[in-house]
Structure 1
């Protein structure tokens, strides 16, 4: 491509074929033949462009006709140069515009990529904040619910303890009086037989009062929800307390079978762990059929403490298994559950460096495996 600063040569303006064709046409116009050469010959007419000689026109035409042909060729060359320069200018302008468009497009693509990255980062932050808000809401809801239950349980335990104390004391004193009466009524078979029945009634009453005392002790453990620091926890004892609470609540809990191995003490919140166990066992109870059973086992290894809660109930559908830990997800009827039981249990276990694995098959039951890491 030519530029304004260059002095073009004749081959740069016209190819050999074009030169030959142009000379033939000029020769036909003049009535003879013409040729162009780069070196001067006899009787040759110079062909100039911008005061530069580009070639020499010679042939069998008269001098006047060669001059006219040379001037016509110079005019044609001037227009060729102008056309080339205009074409080059258009080409350069087009290339510059295209390059600018490419540069703007690259800048636009880079800007788009930056905004996309920022949008993704913002979306991630929003999702993280939403999760934090949801978790805080769940914790606030569950904490408020547990606090209300705990306060009620603590109040009930306190109110029960007072009358239970003198009931147990009076029953023991009555048993002692019964022993004295038995010594004084020796020989009276009817009275002795009556005293034996009375002693059996007193013993049943003492056993009942002791059972109430155990339930009160479990309620005290369950109500200790505001504990600020971790304390050593006996997970087996917490499981037993949870079963006692469920058995006091419903006769169905009698189907829970405990197979507990020796476990090391773990640091944690007893009340929150009891609540997590309660939620899992309560779900298992509600999934049982008429003759179902629940088996709770515990064991320890060098790295973990493992608790398994297994039932032979209705099981969980495969499409729901991945959502059971989602907040407020429940397959029960409206009003029959909040959908927070498993979610809260998972969060509580996570706070105690534990995880939960849930395996289930429809019609065969569900198994929850809880693993606590040993530091």
Structure 2
């Protein structure tokens, strides 16, 4: 993770693939090809970010159009930079909370060892106290993570919703103007092709704004913004939101097959249930190799609402399976996992009077069943 004082390069803000895509879109909008270079050939316009020149944009266009394209490129970099900053802040907040939990856990273990040296009559009280502290640690970690996600979602919603509203409104007006312009001009072949391309560009832009609005809506649902703490929960909607968020982390290429049945709404905490579903899905994605699918099934069976999350990943041995719900137990490399995902997911489901069952075989994948009573 970069420090806040580091100077960003163009590749830090946008991947080469996204840079190429942005140049392609600018070319389609202006009708002239664009080229990004590190040096000024005398006809290029500088692309600046935080007062630094990151590159030079070349195009055979009038100066006004050329500069407008540069400003648009810089606007994209601006929001990419804001996203990077938000990601850094979220990472540091989560890491600080995890270090704090490690310190408290070490203190608990030291306290447990001290009390075990006391008389036999105090043993039962010490063990009970340790269990209470461990539960408080898990709740603290869960609360900190949800709070961080909620703050991030609120910031994104505030920054994005207003300009997206402007863009959507302007695109609709542009479509109307285009219809009027099309009706007033002669209909030769070149004009028809031009108007078709223009309509396609506007439709694609409108689709993009809707997708951004949907992502913001998913984040708000996930972090429980604008919802009561305890409410009627639409489990299928929470599953869909969690899947979209997981897929967004994998650039929409993660194969998740949904088989959602008709479910009644159940009373509960939407954000916490979303967190539980997300944790299980996140574990499933990390178990996959380059190939493999995830299947999510929801159904009601014997008055029990079931959510099955099956993956075709590496699976678990019997020894690992016996310890999956232990706090801070993880099979991943140091720093790659906190060991609290399934532990937090289980506690959330248990708080809703449910249970989690796991079936897994090494090399054959895993099936996690979240079961919550309908009534």
Please give the range of the TM-score, normalised by the shorter of the 2 chains: 0.5 to 0.7
The equivalent of 1:172 in structure 2 is 172
1:1-375 alignment to 2 at 5 Å? 122-224=122-224, 229-251=229-251, 254-375=254-375
| Contact persistence 2:229–2:270 (CA under 8 A) | no
The equivalent of 1:7 in structure 2 is none
Change over 3 Å in CA distance of 1:338–1:226 after alignment to 2: farther
Q: CA deviation at 1:357?
A: 0.2
How many Å separate the matches in 2 of 1:133 and 1:178? 65
1:161-217 CA-to-partner distances (Å, cap 9, x unmatched) read 111111111111111111111111232321221110110111111111111111111
Where do 5+ consecutive residues of structure 2 fail to align? Answer: 1-117
How many Å separate the matches in 2 of 1:263 and 1:289? 32
How many Å separate the matches in 2 of 1:251 and 1:120? 57
Where do 5+ consecutive residues of structure 1 fail to align? Answer: 1-117
How many Å separate the matches in 1 of 2:190 and 2:226? 57
The equivalent of 2:29 in structure 1 is none
Q: CA deviation at 1:144?
A: 1.2
- Give secondary structure in 2 for the equivalent of 1:254: coil
Q: CA deviation at 1:251?
A: 2.9
How many Å separate the matches in 2 of 1:214 and 1:351? 30
1:53-86 CA-to-partner distances (Å, cap 9, x unmatched) read xxxxxxxxxxxxxxxxxxxxxxxxxxxxxxxxxx
How many Å separate the matches in 1 of 2:267 and 2:211? 28
| Contact persistence 2:154–2:225 (CA under 8 A) | no
Q: How many residues align?
A: 258
Q: CA deviation at 1:290?
A: 1.4
| Contact persistence 1:246–1:253 (CA under 8 A) | no
Larger deviation: 217-226 or 257-266? 217-226
- Give secondary structure in 2 for the equivalent of 1:137: helix
Q: RMSD of aligned C-alpha atoms?
A: 1.8
Change over 3 Å in CA distance of 1:271–1:171 after alignment to 2: same
| Contact persistence 1:357–1:368 (CA under 8 A) | yes
| Contact persistence 1:260–1:296 (CA under 8 A) | yes
How many Å separate the matches in 2 of 1:253 and 1:137? 35
How many Å separate the matches in 2 of 1:278 and 1:290? 21
